[in-house]
Structure 1
Amino acid sequence: MSSLFTVGETMGLFGALAIGRIEHVASFGFGIGGAESNVAIGVTRLGGAATWLGRLGSDATGDMIARRLRAEGVHTMDIRDESFTGLMVKHRRTGETMQVDYHRAGSAGSRLTPADIPSDLAGASLLHLTGITPALSDSARAAVFHAAETARASGVAVSFDLNYRSKLWSRFDAAPVLRDLATRADVLFAGPDEAELIVGAAGTDLPAALAALGPVEVVVKDGARGCTALLDGVPAKLPALPVTVVDPVGAGDAFVAGYLAARLAGWAAPDRLRQAVAAGAFAVTVPGDCEGLPSTSELDDMSFVDVRR
C-alpha cells in the first residue's frame, strides 16, 4: 500500500476564541499544531495512509498529541523526551490579521536526531519534509537531511515544502539550507516569497526556476491567487476557489495533503492539483490548525467543485 512518512515537531496550540488584543481574550481553545502532522492527518482523512515521527515531552501535552494523532488514524512513532513539548499561541488582533507566537526553543521536538529516523521509513513510498524542522536545531537539521538521503537511497520519493518561518531563522541562514533540500526533492511546494528566497528575483517563471534545481513536480502556492505548477515538464495553473476565509492557518498544509493523497492514490497531475486547491479552500473556512482538514466525503459534498477523477 502506498503510504506517506513524515517527521517534525507537533506542538500544543492555544487558540484565542475571540478577536482583539490577547490580554482582552477571556478564553482559549487547546489543540495541536504542526505542519508535518497536519499533512499526515490530511492524508488519512482523504483515504491515504500516513506515519508521523517526532519527539514529544513526557507531559500532558505530549500525551494529548499522541492520542489525537492516533485517533486520526495516523501511525504515530512518538519518541518521549525529557524536555517539554513545544507550544504555540494564536490570536486575531483584528478580523483580518492572525498572529502566531512559538514557545519551542529547547523543546522535545527540537532534539530530534538522525538516529531517530528508521532505516526503512516505516515502509513508506513517499517521504514528506518541511523547511520548519531544519530551523529548530543542528540535530534536527541533520535528521531531516538524513531522512532525505535515506529515502533517495531506498528509491522513496521525497516531497518538500519550503515553509520558511522568519521567527525561527533569518533568510540569510535559511536560503542555502532550503535550496540544498530542494535539490533532493522529487515534489516541491513553495509560496512565491519562499521560491524567490532560493531561486532569485521576482518576475521569473518560478515553477521553472524551482524545477531547474531537480524536482520533477513543482507547485507554487499563492493563496487567494491560486497556484501555478510544472508537473513532469507540463505547466499548469488553477485559480483559488471562492470561499469565506475564517482562519488561513493550515491552508498550505491542507493543500499539500490534498495533492499528496491524490498522488499516493495514483491520480493524474490535473486531478492532484484540483484536490489540492479544494482541500486548501475547505480548510480556511474552519478555525484551527488541523481541524479544518477535509475528508473525501466533505470534498465530494462541496457544491462548487468536483475533485473526483
Structure 2
Amino acid sequence: MSTVSTHSTLGILATGDNCVDWYDRQQQGYAGGNAVNVAVSARRAGAPVSYVGAVGTDAAGDLIRRRLTEEHVDLSHLHVEDGATALTHVEIIDGDRMFGDYDEGVMESFAPSAEDLDFAAEHAIFASALWGRTEHHLAEIRRRGCLVAFDIADEPARPAAVTAIDQTDLCFTSRLADDADTRALMESIAHRGPSVVVATLGEAGSLALTDGTWHHCPAERVEVIDTMGAGDSFIGGYLAALLEGAEVPECLQAGTRSAARTLRIAGAW
C-alpha cells in the first residue's frame, strides 16, 4: 500500500483549483474548490496543510485568502494574479448541490512554478485533482519523494485523469454504487500503478482496493443540508489519517467522519 515519506518536514500540500461557490438563490458566497476543500478538511482533522493555487486581485480572492488564513492553512506559496478569481454558480435542490456556470478566472493559466515544486518536495503528501492543472508535474513530484494523491472524480476518461493515473500513488474516484462496473474500473486503475484506489459511493459509503484486497466503509446517516464538498472533505480526512500512519480501513473511517460533518452545513466548510 502507499506509505508516507519519513523524510519530509511538512504534511500535506493541496494544489490546484479554488473558487467562490456563489449560491444564486441565497445570494451567498463561500470559499471552495476541490484543492481548497481538501486542504481545510485535512487541517481541521489536525494535519499540517499548505495550499498552492492562483487567486485574483478581487473581493473573491480576498475572501479565499482570509478564510484559509482563518483555518491556519499555509499560504506562503499562493499565487495572486491580476484578474478575477474563479467563480461557480450553485443551486441547492433537496439538499443536493447543482453546478451552473463556471468562470475559471486566473486559475485558467495556473501552473506550478519551479519554486512550487521545491516546496512540494518538503511535504509528505501532494494532493490534487482534475481541475488543478498539475497532472503534467506529478512524475517530478513523485521523483522528489512525495506520495501523490489525485482525484479523478467521475471522469476516468478525461485527458487529465488519463495522464495523472499513471503517476499517482493514491487515486480517488466517485461512483454511485459498489457494483461490478465500479470494481472493474477500480481494478483497471490499480493495474496502471496506484497502490490504493478509493471510490466514494455517496449513501453507499466508500470502497478501497489495495494489494488485491477490498475494504468497504458504510456512510454515516446524517441530516443532509448541502452535499457541496462532501467528497473533497472525505479526501481531506482520509489523507490526514494516512499522514498519521493509519491503515486503509481507518483512513476510510476518518474520511467518512469528515464527509458527514460537511453534509450537515451549508457550503463546503
Same fold (TM over 0.5): yes
Q: Does 1:207 align with 2:186?
A: yes
Report the alpha carbon displacement of residue 204 of structure 1 after superposing the two structures with TM.
4.7
Corresponding residue for 1:250?
A: 229
Report the alpha carbon displacement of residue 15 of structure 1 after superposing the two structures with TM.
2.0
Q: How far apart are the structure 1 equivalents of 2:107 and 2:152?
A: 18
Note the 1:124-139 alignment, pairs <5 A.
Answer: 124-133=123-132
Structure 1 runs of 4+ off > 4 angstroms? none
Report the alpha carbon displacement of residue 85 of structure 1 after superposing the two structures with TM.
0.8
Q: Does 1:109 align with 2:99?
A: no
Q: Does 1:269 align with 2:248?
A: yes
More displaced stretch, 280-289 vs 202-211? 202-211
Corresponding residue for 2:84?
A: 84
Note the 1:56-75 alignment, pairs <5 A.
Answer: 56-75=55-74
Q: Does 1:156 align with 2:146?
A: yes
Secondary structure of 1:118's partner? helix
Tell me the TM-score normalised to structure 1 length: 0.77
Corresponding residue for 1:222?
A: 201
Structure showing greater relative contact order (alpha-carbon pairs closer than 8 Å, 6 or more residues apart): 2
Report the alpha carbon displacement of residue 234 of structure 1 after superposing the two structures with TM.
2.5
Q: How far apart are the structure 2 equivalents of 1:97 and 1:245?
A: 8
**Structure of greater Rg:** 1
1:206-227 Cα shifts (integer Å, max 9, x gaps) = 3322211111111111100111
Q: Does 1:179 align with 2:162?
A: yes
Q: How far apart are the structure 2 equivalents of 1:57 and 1:121?
A: 22
| Aligned with 1:145 (options 124, 136, 143) | 136
Report the count of equivalent residues.
259
Secondary structure of 2:17's partner? coil
Aligned partners of 1:58 and 1:83 also within 8 Å: yes
Q: Does 1:6 align with 2:5?
A: no
Q: How far apart are the structure 1 equivalents of 2:80 and 2:218?
A: 43
1:251-300 Cα shifts (integer Å, max 9, x gaps) = 101110111000011112211111111211221111112x2xxxxxxxxx
Aligned partners of 1:216 and 1:233 also within 8 Å: no
What fraction of aligned residue pairs are identical, expressed as a percent? Answer: 26
Note the 1:17-96 alignment, pairs <5 A.
Answer: 25=25, 27-76=26-75, 77-92=77-92, 94-95=93-94
Corresponding residue for 2:5?
A: none
| Paired residue type of 1:8 | G
Q: 1:159 to 1:247 in 2, by over 3 A?
A: same
1:19-42 Cα shifts (integer Å, max 9, x gaps) = xxxxxx4x4222211110110111
Corresponding residue for 1:306?
A: none
Note the 1:186-201 alignment, pairs <5 A.
Answer: 186-192=169-175
Report the alpha carbon displacement of residue 96 of structure 1 after superposing the two structures with TM.
5.3
Corresponding residue for 1:303?
A: none
Q: 1:102 to 1:52 in 2, by over 3 A?
A: farther
Report the alpha carbon displacement of residue 114 of structure 1 after superposing the two structures with TM.
4.1
Q: How far apart are the structure 1 equivalents of 2:110 and 2:94?
A: 36
- In structure 2, the gaps of 5 or more residues are 1-8
| Paired residue type of 1:273 | L
Q: 1:99 to 1:259 in 2, by over 3 A?
A: same
Tell me the TM-score normalised to structure 2 length: 0.87
Aligned partners of 2:96 and 2:227 also within 8 Å: no
Q: How far apart are the structure 1 equivalents of 2:21 and 2:50?
A: 21
Q: How far apart are the structure 2 equivalents of 1:97 and 1:68?
A: 24
- In structure 1, the gaps of 5 or more residues are 17-24, 134-139, 166-170, 292-309
Aligned partners of 2:88 and 2:101 also within 8 Å: yes
